[in-house]
Structure 1
């Protein structure tokens, strides 16, 4: 990881969970990390906790990735402050498990498409254009996807749709980069159940029913996913780690969660 020390990274969805863990890990390895999210207060608090403890530094930036204008402002900030970017982690994502295909609300479908697919694509475009403009040909793009992008989730088929799109976008990007003889690498990381607030936001009924996700099974931790980012980054330049799937050893939390929710209904 020493070759990334002093280099610039952008991490979306950086105010909590997996994004927060990735920022902390990259800063710990000496990188200058622009962490973006909607909650500016949380970002600044997080930055104050980790800055000054090593060579790396976090730069908080308020950005709602559903707004292309916000994204463009963020990359303009990166260009003006650092002149370039070397790593992008498209971590921001959301799910609405109540948005079924039979009766889901259009605004919830659009919400998932805007964040999981369009924002990811816009951030990727802007990052690569800045890399090219600053002659960075050894950058790295990460898409934090989901096992739901490999196996259709019966609990959230539309969410699965957006993550299948991420899988296609990741491979499509790799092919486009190779076609122009670029050495920018692309990695998709697909976590299974991770113990964060993501599940509570995706299924509001979990809090209403006082479901303790941690007691159902031993789930993945945010640091586990951050470690996979480091694993791919530290691979030699000639090694392109395209896809990583990380699951809890105990299996699929969805199968254990469904009967529990029905029981408590």
Structure 2
């Protein structure tokens, strides 16, 4: 991690779970970290939990990635305040459980796509444009995908709504972005990390019977994987990393 010391990482969806764990991990390893989330109070709590020396390198800003203008304004703030992001971790994501065919659920469909797909596109665009303007040639974009972006898990009694389609879109987007970066002649890397079950707030435990019997990853496991991917040598790009807890059946 030596080459990332005092360089800037932006992490979306930082108010809990994987995003919070990534913020703690990267700031502990010497990076300047900007946590983005809709729940500003949770970001303040995260900052207050950090050791004093790390807290000085942790910044936060309220940002709903499903709102394009908020994303544009936030990355402009990062540029002006901290000099711009060198690492972007696209972690923000939501899941809704109403069936796609249920009448009156249009908001659930739009919200999922706007957060899980368009939010990734807007954040990646703004981060890349910033790197390009600053002639940063060794940046890294990480997308927290899901095993559902490769194979759709089947549960009894409820639907995952647009979550799997949104993650399949992210799988395709990662390859499109890799090709776009390549066409620009840059060495900026992109990595999609697809965890299996992770014990976070996104899991509605009331809907899944006997959830305690399912093997689950910790948020810290995913944060470790992200650190591993951004530490690879200059000529090594981990394009896709799938992580499953031991014993997962899907």
TM-score category of the 2 structures, normalised to the smaller one: over 0.9
1:156 matched residue in structure 2:
160
1:37-116 alignment runs, 5 A limit: 37-54=37-54, 57-98=57-98, 100-103=99-102, 105-116=105-116
8 A Cα contact 1:17 1:196, kept in partner: yes
After superposition, where does 1:194-213 map in structure 2 within 5 Å? Answer: 194-200=198-204, 205-206=206-207, 213=211
Quote the offset at 1:134 in angstroms.
0.8
Aligned residue for 1:35, secondary structure, equals strand
> For 2:136 and 2:146, how far apart are their aligned partners in 1?
28
Structure 2 distance, partners of 1:51, 1:106, is 44
Partner of 2:134: 134
CA distance in 2, matches of 1:56, 1:26: 13
Question: Structure 2 CA distance, aligned partners of 1:56 and 1:182?
Answer: 32
Length-normalised TM-score, structure 2 = 0.93
Displacement of 1:72 in angstroms is 1.3
Say whether the 8 Å CA contact 2:141–2:190 is kept in structure 1: yes
Closer/same/farther in 2, CA of residues 56 and 217 from structure 1, 3 Å limit: farther
Q: Give 5+ residue unaligned stretches, structure 2.
A: none
Task: Please give the secondary structure, in 1, of the residue aligned with 2:174.
Answer: helix
**Counting helix residues as a fraction of each chain, which structure ranks higher?**
1
Other-structure match for 1:184: 188
What is aligned with 1:174?
178
Report the Cα offset of residue 76 of structure 1. Answer: 1.2
In the alignment, what sits opposite 1:226?
A: 223
How many residues are treated as equivalent by the alignment? Answer: 245
Instruction: Assess if the C-alpha contact under 8 Å between 2:193 and 2:242 holds in 1.
Output: yes
- Unaligned segments of structure 1, at least 5 residues: 256-265
Whether contact under 8 Å (2:215, 2:248) holds in the other structure is no
**Structure 1 residue 217 displacement after superposition:** 2.7
